[in-house]
A and B are shown apart, each in its own frame.
Chain A
Amino acid sequence: MGKDDGLIIDAHTHFMGPIYPMTKEEREIKWGVKEMLLHMDECGVNMAAVSSIEPFKWISWKKYSLGGNEEVAEAIRGHPSRIIGLFVPNVYGSMEIVTGQVEEAVKKYNFKGLKIHPWAQDVSPNHPMLYPIYEKAAKLRVPVQFHSGTAPYCTPLQIAEVARIFPEVPVIMGHMGKQDLWLDVIPAARLSENVYVDTSGQCIRALIERFAAEIGADRILFASDWPGLHMDVEIQRILDCDITEEDKRLILGENAANIFKISA
C-alpha cells in the first residue's frame, strides 16, 4: 500500500520535540515540517493533518501572537498539497478574541480544522466556556479534533456530549480512547452521528474492527500521532484489520478527505 494504491491521509500528527528527553540536548530536538515530509514520503502518505503542541501551553500565548500555531500556518503556505493545518485555539483567552482568531485561521491561513487537547490545556472538552469556539466551528463548517483516552478530561463521553450539543460540527475523537478508555468509544459514538474517531495510538485491532462493524468504517480516520509513532507502523495496523478493502480505503484517506474538505 502506498501512493499508487490510493489516497493516504494521516489525520493526526504534531510538530513537537521528544516526549521523553534524556538529556538537555535531546530537549532541543524539534520535529517540524521538513522531517514530516521526509517521513511521509518514506511511508507513502499523501497528506497529513498537523497541529503544533506549542499552543497547548498557556505560556506560548504570551510569547507568540498565534500561540505557536505560526509554524503550522507556515507549513500550510509552503506545502498546501501535503499539509492540512489544525488550529489550536487559546482556551485561556477572551472568547471574543479567540473566535476572531479561529475565523482568521480558517479564512486567511487556510486551516482546515481545530484541535483541542483538553488534558494538556487543562479544560474539559464539554466545559461551556468552550462553546463559543464550537459555535464558530459550526459556522465555519470545520471539524474539531480532541485528544481522547486520558482521564479525567479527555473521556469519550465528554467528547460525545460536545458532538450532541453541536451536531453540525464533525467531532474527531483522537486516539480512539487509547488503552484505558477504549471500551467507552463505541458507546460514545452511538450517541451522536457526528462523532468520528482516529486510530493513532490505538493498538487494539479488535476495537477498530468492531467499530467498523457496529458504527461504520466511514467514521474512522487513519492517523499516526507522528512523531511519537511511525506512520508506516500505524498504516500496517489498518491493513492488518479484518475488514473489507473498501473499508480500508475509506479509513486510510477518503474519510479524511471528506471531513477536511480536500478537493482532489
Chain B
Amino acid sequence: MVKKVISFAFILLFVATGCNHFTKENVQQNATDTGKITVATFLTNAPDWINKVIVIEGTVSHTCKHGGKRMFLVDGNDSVSVEITTGPDIVKFDDALVGSRVRISGLLKEERIDEKYLSEWENEIKKPQENHEVGVHTGAKGHMDQTDQDKLDQIASYRQDLKAAGKDHLSFFSVEAEKIEELK
C-alpha cells in the first residue's frame, strides 16, 4: 500500500512536469485586430497607444533566461525590437518560443528614463550584487552577459541621448502580454 502511494505521488509529479505547456495555455484563437501595431511601426505608433490594449505580431528573437519574464519581437530583421513582458496570466516565455511567429495581445506601457533613474541605475551597478530588474532591457544579443563597464557605457549613451533630445526623459515602450498565440 505504502509503495503504491509513494509511486503514485512520483508518477503524478512526473506527469505534471511532462504535461507542462504554460506558454501555450493562454492562446487566443480569435485575436481582434483592434489596435494592431506592426513591429516596424511600433516606435512611431506607440505614443498613441500608451496604457491601451494592442495586438502585435512578430518573430521571437530572444527570451530572458532569468525566469522568462520578457522576450523580444522582431520582424524580418532586427533593426526594431519590441520588448514583451509577462502579464498576470502568463507564467513565462519559454526559450522554445525563440524563432516562432507569435501574436501578442496586451497593454502597451511606457517607461520613462530620466537623470534620476540613470543615477539610481548607476548606483546599483556599483553595488557588489547585480540587480537584474534594474536597467533598460534592449534585447541586444548578449545583453545578459554585459559587464558593469558595458552598462556604465550604456548609461553614458542614454545621457547623451537625453541631451540630444532636449527633453527631461527618454521613453521606452513595451507590451505587457495578456494573451499569446503561436502562429504556424
Q: Do A and B bind each other?
A: no
